[in-house]
Amino acid sequence: MNLSFSGSGFLLAFHIGVANYFRRQGYISAKSRFAGASGGSLVAASLAYDVPMANVLDETKNTARSIHEDLKKKKMFNLSSYVNKHIGALFPEDLPIHDFPRLVIATTQVWPRVRTVHWTDFPNKDFLADRMLLSCHVPWYFDGTPARRIDGKEWHADGGLLCFVPEVEDHVKVSIIPMPWDRKTISPALIPNFPISSARLLQWALLPPSNEMLDKIVSLGEEAAEIWDVSRSQGDSVAA
């Protein structure tokens, strides 16, 4: 099974839940491939490099706690520094070598042309971290700048600006935005009477909820994945 994760911000907890379910069911293997944009790239990369989802959730909670502490003290925070620490804590200095490309990280090139770019080759941890930071670069919100220049010529920003869920062949899409019009995508729309409003989801994508709510969002991701899986096995329209 191959998975493509949407931009998510701190709602990457939903993606973690989806990954947890499929890993328990044995659908994720050494041959699985992953793609991600923005916050989804952190989960995709963690799966590709065998970082336990429990570690990803713990680090997300640490980041959330630090942000709320900074907001109390300084009334502001620099998201880029937190994401950089998050990445540094999760990934080994020597990345495992893959026999085939297992990971796609999406960024949005905004100049000299506008397009989505898929990165698939990560020679070392620094390069991987750089592309994940680029994929998470929400204009102005991430570090106060609209985009970042790379290779001395191109400007890139958040990977979900043009295509919220990376379009990669043979990958099941996972989105934190409810998508009732697309029943092939694993999203909150699959859960009857989903308990969180779209406005609240947007708020929590940008500013982390409590650690208790992060745990709840993980469980909702697991529930959505199970509904998708059961519906697919029954051959009905949810996963058709």
The CA distances from residue 20 to 94, 186, 209, in Å, are: 25, 14, 20
Annotated active-site positions, please? 38, 158
The CA distances from residue 182 to 139, 168, 178, in Å, are: 27, 16, 9
As a whole number, the mean pLDDT across the chain is 93
pLDDT in tens, 5-39: 999 999 999 999 999 999 999 999 999 999 999 99
Name the strand (E) or helix (H) holding 115: strand 115-119
pLDDT in tens, 190-210: 999 999 999 999 999 999 999
The CA distances from residue 141 to 47, 136, 221, in Å, are: 26, 10, 26
Residue 231 has pLDDT above 70, yes or no: yes
- Report the CATH number of the 3-239 domain: 3.40.1090
Residue 41 CA to residue 89 CA, distance in Å, equals: 15
Residue 189 DSSP one-character state: G
The pLDDT of 40-49, averaged and rounded, is 98
Residue 53 has pLDDT above 70, yes or no: yes
Which pLDDT score is estimated for 159? Answer: 97
Residue 236 has pLDDT above 70, yes or no: no
Residue 67 CA to residue 34 CA, distance in Å, equals: 28
Residue 74 CA to residue 223 CA, distance in Å, equals: 38
Which pLDDT score is estimated for 151? Answer: 87
Name the strand (E) or helix (H) holding 86: helix 79-90
